[in-house]
């Protein structure tokens, strides 16, 4: 009976350590993602609008090249 209490306590501590590791990993990944995503800068043409037009042009080019 006493050995079960020790293993349960050990398992709880291991689960807590693992949960803390996952939380730290998620935080690290979030911070990395913020550095990888380009910022949307205000230029003569709004960069979001420019991105939308470029995406639409790429999509239309892709669709036009597919055979029906």
Q: What is the pTM of this model?
A: 0.40
Question: What's the confidence (pLDDT) of residue 5?
Answer: 53
**Distance between CA atoms of residues 37 and 31, nearest Å:** 10
Residue 32 and residue 55: Cα distance in Å, rounded? 25
- Which H or E run contains 15? helix 2-36
Q: Within this chain, do residues 15 and 31 fall inside the same structural domain, yes or no?
A: yes
Tally of structural domains, the chain: 2
Residue 3 pLDDT greater than 60, yes or no = no
- State pLDDT tens for residues 5-61: 556 777 888 888 888 999 988 988 888 887 776 666 666 567 777 888 888 998 888
Q: Do 27 and 49 sit in the same domain of this protein?
A: no
For 28, the domain range is 1-36
């Amino acid at each position: 009976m006493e050995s079960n209490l020790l293993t349960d306590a050990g398992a709880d501590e291991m689960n807590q350590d693992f949960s803390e590791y996952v939380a730290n990993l998620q935080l690290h990944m979030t911070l990395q993602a913020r550095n990888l995503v380009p910022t949307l800068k205000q230029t003569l043409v709004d960069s979001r609008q420019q991105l939308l037009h470029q995406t639409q042009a790429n999509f239309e080019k892709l669709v036009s090249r597919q055979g029906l």
